[in-house]
């Protein structure tokens, strides 16, 4: 298990990241942090959200990757459609294992950016 991160507000170490919407993060992020950056422990995140006085609850998911998996599925379909459009098997002969490895590489690259 990793040591975790250090809160830029209180200096405490933490291992569980709380993910908040980008627009909300920009309002509560650590002082001096550039857009989209900064590290806060869960306690400081909640303190700052509560200080806004605008929220009765926030929804937390155990696994945020469920939505990403749906996005990846859609991207895979789009990649396959593009492959069919620009390199159908009957126009550009390419061995199936080479084609499949290329597709896997593209999908791996997409996954690494999501």
Domain ranges of the chain: 5-52, 65-113
Coil, helix or strand for 25?
helix
Given a cut of 90, is residue 8 above it in pLDDT? yes
In this prediction, residue 73 carries a pLDDT of 73
In this prediction, residue 59 carries a pLDDT of 66
Q: At residue 5, what are phi and psi to the nearest 5 degrees? A: -115, 165
Given a cut of 90, is residue 47 above it in pLDDT? yes
Compute, in degrees rounded to 10, the torsion defined by CA atoms 38, 41, 44, 48. 50
Q: What is the pTM of this model?
A: 0.51
Q: How large a percentage of the chain has pLDDT more than 70?
A: 68
pLDDT band at 1 (very low <50, low <70, confident <90, very high): very low
In this prediction, residue 114 carries a pLDDT of 54
pLDDT band at 102 (very low <50, low <70, confident <90, very high): confident
């Amino acid at each position: 298990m990793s040591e975790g991160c250090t809160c830029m507000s209180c200096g405490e170490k933490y291992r569980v990241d709380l993910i908040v919407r980008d627009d909300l993060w920009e309002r509560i992020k650590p002082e001096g942090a550039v857009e989209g950056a900064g590290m806060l422990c869960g306690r400081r995140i909640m303190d700052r959200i509560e200080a806004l006085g605008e929220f009765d609850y926030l929804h937390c998911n155990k696994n945020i990757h469920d939505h990403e998996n749906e996005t990846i599925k859609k991207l895979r379909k789009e990649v396959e459609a593009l492959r069919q459009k620009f390199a159908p098997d009957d126009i550009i002969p390419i061995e199936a294992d080479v084609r499949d490895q290329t597709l896997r590489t593209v999908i791996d690259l997409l996954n690494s950016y999501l």
